[in-house]
Amino acid sequence: MSDDRKQLPRVDLPPDVRLDTLAVREGLPPSAWGENSEALFLTSSFVHPDAATAAARFANEEEAFVYSRFSNPTVTMMERRLAALEGTQACIATSSGMSAIGLIVLGLLKSGDHIVCSRSVFGSTIKLLGGEFARFGVQTTFVSQTDAAEWRDAMQPNTKLLLAESPTNPLTDVCDIASLAQIARAAGALLAVDNCFCSPALQKPAALGADLINHSGTKYLDGQGRVIAGAVCGSQALIDEKLVPMMRSLGMSLSPFNAWVVLKGLETLSIRMRAHCERALELARWLETQPQVSRVHYPGLESHPQHALAMAQQSGQGGAVVSFTLGGADADGARRRAFHVIDSTRICSITANLGDTKTTITHPSSTSHGRLTETQRLAAGIDQGLVRVAVGLDDVEDIKADLLRGLAAL
Ligand SMILES: Cc1ncc(COP(=O)(O)O)c(C=O)c1O
C-alpha cells in the first residue's frame, strides 16, 4: 500500500502555491463528475474488474484503493492536506488523537524500549504511557516540560522516543522543540510532538526538527466540535514503513465521514486560529486584572514564564486556551470556588473538549486529568483551583461577562 499511496495522482496545482491555498485545495483530483467541494467516499471496500487485478492490488503491484481500513480517497485527501500544512512528506489519519499516540508507540517501539515524556502532558497520554504501555514492557520516564537538561539526563541507551506536547493541556507550559530535537538526534531517538493546541496554523514542529507530529483532529483541525479524529505526520519512510503496517493490522483507521469533516475544517483553520488567538489574548489580559484570580496561564502574556520562546515558536500567537487559578483557599475551598465560577456561566459550554467555535470551560483536576492520581496531578501542576477556558469564536465581551458573574460573587 505504501508505494500506492505515493503514486496516486495529485491535484493539479502550480509547485509554488502558498499554505492558505494548499489548505483549501490539496488532496486528490476530483472524480469523473468534476465536483468542486471534495467528495465523500463513504464505502468500506473498492471493486476490482477481475480476480487477477484484485490479486495484483492486494500484492501492492498495482496502485488502487482496496479497503477503507487501509486507505480511502477521502481519508487520503485529508492526510495530504494536513501533511502540506505541517510541511511533512506524509501523514496517516487515525480514529482519535489517542490512537495517533498509540500508533506511534506500537509502530516504532518494542518491549524493552524506553520513552521520555513531559509530566505535564494531557492526562490520557500519561495514563497510556505510564499505565497501558508499561504493562507491555515499554517504560516511560516523565520529566519537566520546560527543563531540557532533565530530558537529556533521562535518556537511556534504550530510549527510542521523546514525546512532547506544547503548549501543554491545561497549563500551557511551553517546551523548546528545537532543543528536544537535538537531544533526540544525538541519541539516535525520534521526537514526536503533539501539536494539538497550536495546530500547523501557528506552529510547525517539523521545521524545528521534530520527526513526527501527532494530532487530535477532534480539536482545532475539525474546529467545530463535530468528530473524533487523529493523525500522525512525518517522513514518507517512517509513515509507510512503520505506521501503515501497524494501522492495517490494528485498524484504528479514521472513518471517511470524519476525514471529510476534518478535510473541510482545514480549509478555515488559519482564519479560525487567528480569531481564537485574538479573543484568548484579550480574555487573558482581562483575567489578569481580576482580584479573585491569582494566576493566569497563557503563553501570549508577558507574565508567562516561556513567553519569549512561545512567541518565537508559535508565530507570535498564544493559542486559544487560557487557564486561571483562583487563589486564597485550601484544596476543598479552591475546588468550591472553581465549581462556582464554572456553574455561574450561561454561555460557556461546560465540557472538557476544546478547539470548538463555542467557548468551553472545565475543571481539569476533576475532568481531563481526573483519572490521574493526586501525586501525578500535583506533579503536573494541576490544583483544585484551576479553571481552563478554551476560547471559541463567541464575542469575548460576552465571555468576560459570563466569567465575571461567578468571579464577582466569590
Ligand atoms: C493535547 C491532547 N492530545 C491528545 C488528545 C486526545 O485526543 P482525542 O480525544 O481525539 O483522542 C487530547 C484531548 O483532549 C489533547 O488535549
pLDDT tens-digit map of 1-26: 334 444 788 898 998 999 899 999 99
Ligand 1 touching residue 356 (CB < 6 A): no
| Alpha helices per DSSP H over 251-330 | 256-266, 269-288, 307-313
pLDDT for the residue 2 = 39
In this structure, what C-alpha cell is assigned to residue 46? 473498492
Ligand 1 midpoint to CA 24 (Å): 24
Mean pLDDT of 230-248: 96
Mean pLDDT of 289-302: 97
Residue of 94, 117, 216 to test ligand 1 pocket, by largest number of atoms within 8 Å of CB: 216
pLDDT of residue 281: 98
Distance 366 CA to ligand 1 centre (A): 16
The atom number, within ligand 1, closest to the CA of 230 reads: 10
Longest dimension (CA), the chain: 74
Average pLDDT of span 79-94: 98
Q: Is 79 helix (H, G, I), strand (E, B) or coil?
A: helix
- Does ligand 1 lie within 6 Å of residue 102's CB atom? no
Angle between helices 331-343 and 396-408 (to 10 degrees): 130
Cα-based torsion angle of the residue sequence 275, 280, 283, 287 in order, rounded to the nearest 10 degrees: 180
- For the stretch 119-169, pLDDT in tens is 988 889 999 999 999 999 999 999 999 999 999 999 999 999 999 999 999
Ligand 1 midpoint to CA 134 (Å):
20
Distance of CA 229 from the midpoint of ligand 1 (Å): 9
Query: Which atom of ligand 1 is nearest to 197's Cα?
Result: 1
Average pLDDT, stretch 62-88? 95
Residue range 47-62, pLDDT digits in tens: 999 999 999 998 888 8
Question: What is the average pLDDT across 83-101?
Answer: 98
Q: Which helix (H) or strand (E) holds 403?
A: helix 396-408
Q: How far is the CA of 104 from the centre of ligand 1 (A)?
A: 14
> Mean pLDDT throughout 331-351?
96
Check residue 370 and give its pLDDT. Answer: 84
pLDDT at residue 386 above 50? yes
Helix (H) or strand (E) segment spanning residue 194: strand 190-194
Distance CA(344)–CA(278), nearest Å, equals 24
Would you say 45 and 196 are in contact if contact means Cβ atoms under 8 Å apart?
no
Listed in sequence order, the residues at least 6 apart from 401 whose beta carbon sits closer than 8 Å to its beta carbon are none
Q: How far is the CA of 17 from the centre of ligand 1 (A)?
A: 31
pLDDT digits (tens, 9 = 90+) for 182-231: 999 999 999 999 999 999 999 999 999 999 999 999 999 999 999 999 99
For the cut 70, the answer to whether the pLDDT of residue 274 exceeds it is yes
β-partners of residue 305 are: none
Residue 222 in contact with ligand 1 by CB distance below 6 A = no
Q: Are 211 and 236 in contact (CB under 8 A)?
A: no
Average pLDDT over residues 28-57: 95
Question: What average pLDDT does the chain have?
Answer: 95
Span 365-393, mean pLDDT?
89
pLDDT the model gives residue 62: 87
| DSSP-derived secondary structure letter, 253 | P
CA of 194 from ligand 1 middle (Å) equals 9
pTM: 0.95
Q: Evaluate: CB of 166 within 6 angstroms of ligand 1.
A: no
Q: Mean pLDDT, to the nearest integer, of 348-376?
A: 92
Q: Of the candidates 152, 145, 137, 146, which has an alpha carbon nearest to the alpha carbon of residue 117?
A: 145
Q: In the prediction, which pLDDT does 352 show?
A: 94
